[in-house]
Amino acid sequence: MKDKSGFTLIELLIVVTIIMLIAGLVGQNVFKRLGKGKQAVAKAQIEMLAASLKDFRLDTGRYPGTQEGLAALVQNPGVENWDGPYPEKKVIPKDPWGKPYQYQSPGQQGEFDLYSYGKDGSPGGEGEDKDIVSWE
């Protein structure tokens, strides 16, 4: 009788199933951390934009109005003593989900409100959909 080496179909199916289970468990943890990473990036960008808004206020005596928006940080809206652009990279970034940051001045929470609606792009939410705000 010949000695046949190799794997049976059953053995291959078992190995593939085990690999899929492991990949599923690891994948869940990786995607959770990816979402938390995007929230951390949004928080850091909001802090950077808030610092730029404060620099704008030091130079001009006021924050940009809601109508002027964050664009006033990179292009002079016709304000005396404007000494920008204020962000280091001279651009206003979009949030990690590709949406513009929301800005109001005067704000409901302070002199200005700066926030991202998170992954879902709408107010409220939990997890990745949670709003990232300047006042927390």
Q: What is the pLDDT of residues 22-35, one digit of tens each?
A: 888 777 766 666 66
Note whether residue 117 is domain-resident. Answer: yes
Note whether residue 112 is domain-resident. Answer: yes
Q: How many domains does the chain have?
A: 1
Residue 15 has pLDDT above 60, yes or no: yes
Do residues 74 and 84 make contact, with C-beta atoms less than 8 angstroms apart? yes
Note whether residue 8 is domain-resident. Answer: no
Residue 104 has pLDDT above 70, yes or no: yes
What is the pLDDT of the chain when averaged over all its residues?
89
Note whether residue 68 is domain-resident. Answer: yes
Domain span at 118: 13-133
Do residues 99 and 120 make contact, with C-beta atoms less than 8 angstroms apart? no
State pLDDT tens for residues 49-81: 999 999 999 999 999 999 999 999 999 999 999
- Summarize the confidence of residues 7-22 as an average pLDDT: 86
Note whether residue 97 is domain-resident. Answer: yes
**Whole-model pTM?**
0.74
- Summarize the confidence of residues 93-113 as an average pLDDT: 94
Long-range contacts of range 88-93, CB-CB < 8 Å, 24 or more positions apart? Answer: 88/48, 92/49, 93/45
Note whether residue 71 is domain-resident. Answer: yes
Note whether residue 7 is domain-resident. Answer: no
User: For position 24, what pLDDT does the model report?
Assistant: 80
Do residues 67 and 106 make contact, with C-beta atoms less than 8 angstroms apart? no
**DSSP per residue, 85-128:** --STTSS-PPPTTS-PPEEESS-SSSS-EEEE-TTTTSS--SGG
Q: Residue 48: give its domain's CATH number.
A: 3.30.700.10
Token look-up 């109005």 returns: 65
Note whether residue 1 is domain-resident. Answer: no
Compute and round to an integer the Cα radius of gyration of the chain: 25
- Summarize the confidence of residues 96-109 as an average pLDDT: 94
